[in-house]
Amino acid sequence: MSYPFQQGGIRLPEPSLANRDVAAASKGHFTGHAVLGDGPGRIVQLESHHELQFCLCLAARPETGEIYEQVGFEWYDADGELHPHYFDFVVVRPMERLSPIPFGLHTA
């Protein structure tokens, strides 16, 4: 696909990395997609208007690195039965750079 104001073409966003897809449409509640990230970005699937608002707040925070949606997690109940759960969002923050702090300075 070419873009008339730019040489070459455009890149479409990367697909969602969700472990499960959200419904494409619903009569009862909001569903949608957002594109986040630099360059072409990546599609993020959303199941509610609150998720959209929260996702945009997370994306705006400078300490947010990557946002992953619908991340699968399995857990066992007291009877040993396995259950799946999906977190709406998991945020990966870039490692903070630690600066050494001098102490016990000696002067000549």
pLDDT digit string (tens) for 48-71? 899 999 999 999 998 888 888 888
pLDDT in tens, 30-39: 889 999 998 8
Query: Into how many domains does the chain fold?
Result: 1
Whether the CA torsion 69, 73, 78, 79 is positive or negative: it is positive
Structure tokens given for 92: 């990966």
For residue 73, being part of any structural domain is answered with yes
Domain that holds residue 17: 11-99
90: three-class secondary structure by DSSP: strand
Asked if residue 83 belongs to a domain, the reply is yes
* 68 within a domain of the structure (yes/no): yes
- For the residues 3-26, what does the mean pLDDT come to? 80
Task: Give domain status of residue 60, yes or no.
Answer: yes
**Does a structural domain hold residue 105?**
no
